[in-house]
Amino acid sequence: MVECDDGNNLDGDGCSADCKVESGYSCTRRTAQGLPDLCVDVVSPTAELHVAKGNLLQVQFSESVVYAFKGNFWEREKDRGKS
């Protein structure tokens, strides 16, 4: 049974190659408008914070993410004390 049709045969974009809605996605049928279905990621990833040897801070996400640094909070030990 076709659950979705986003006009391609690719997995990982919300509608699988075998036309099933992928986990964490919601698809809107747009057949009536003559358009491919629109699938969106509806589940936010989870994050785990780890502090490793040498005070290395690691953040591990449950899925691929896009991230952006805002503001000036990124400081490395060797940069401290410099003006």
User: Contact between 40 and Ca ion (CB under 5 A)?
Assistant: no
The token pair that represents 6 in the structure block: 């986003």
Q: How far is the CB of 56 from Ca ion (least distance, A)?
A: 37
- Contacting residue, 10, 40, 43, 47, with Ca ion by CB under 5 A: 10
d(Cα 55, Cα 10) in Å, to the nearest integer?
A: 40
Among residues 46, 45, 27, 47, which one has the least CA distance to residue 37? 27
- Indicate the residue among 9 and 62 with the shorter CB distance to Ca ion: 9
User: Contact between 4 and Ca ion (CB under 5 A)?
Assistant: no
User: Contact between 15 and Ca ion (CB under 5 A)?
Assistant: yes
Could you give the count of Cα atoms lying within 13 Å of 21 in the half-sphere of its Cβ?
Answer: 14
Q: Residue numbers of the site for Ca ion (CB under 5 A)? A: 6, 8, 10, 13, 15
